[in-house]
Amino acid sequence: ELGLFPLGDQMVELSAMVTILGCSRAPAIRFATDRTRSTTLERLAWCVHDLGGVTREMLTDRDPAFCIGQTSSGAAILAPEWVDLARLLGVVPKACRPYRAKTKGKVERMIRELKESFLAWLSGQVLPVHPTLADYDALARRWVEEIVLRRTHRTTKRVVGEAWAEERSLLRPIPERIL
């Protein structure tokens, strides 16, 4: 959740779907005005499209869009809609174990960058008079291209865009019926 932003001719609460590839650390970001399961899954599909394909497994947090509960042993019970989408994408859906910050560190770091770096960068951009979600999505893609993909990642010591170019060749295409 990012706060209030102009959308059309009103101010609305914007949320961001953030995905990140584990090896290259290449991110994809899409915005939404709600966090319903259908919106979240649709935004996720667009994020993997932006990344150029899907991996063998997809790890998510335990957001209600992905998980509807847990078993007595603590295993996540995945939402049927998420399982269906994962099947269509050809990925194995997995949910993080609760309270395991290391498991989600890559995406949590990108969320922090989104809030600290992207929002500051966005304040210097010219927005349309009545911006749309597509405008914010395009600005996020531009920020990723201009800022994130050009930097050397602290952990991997690789330029994110170069690592992504290599990783993209390993991704599987998204079935056309998904988008």
pLDDT tens by residue, 116-148: 899 889 888 888 999 999 999 999 999 999 999
Give the pLDDT mean for 58-66: 92
Smallest Cα–Cα separation from 33: which of 141, 179, 132, 178? Answer: 132
Q: Count other Cβ atoms within 10 Å, centred on residue 69.
A: 11
> With bands split at pLDDT 50, 70 and 90, how would you rate the model's confidence at 22?
confident
102 pLDDT above the threshold of 70: no
**What token pair was written down for 125?**
């951009």
99 pLDDT above the threshold of 80: no
The per-residue b/e assignment along 1-22, b for 16 or more CB within 10 angstroms, e otherwise, is ebeebbbeeeeeebbbbbbbbe
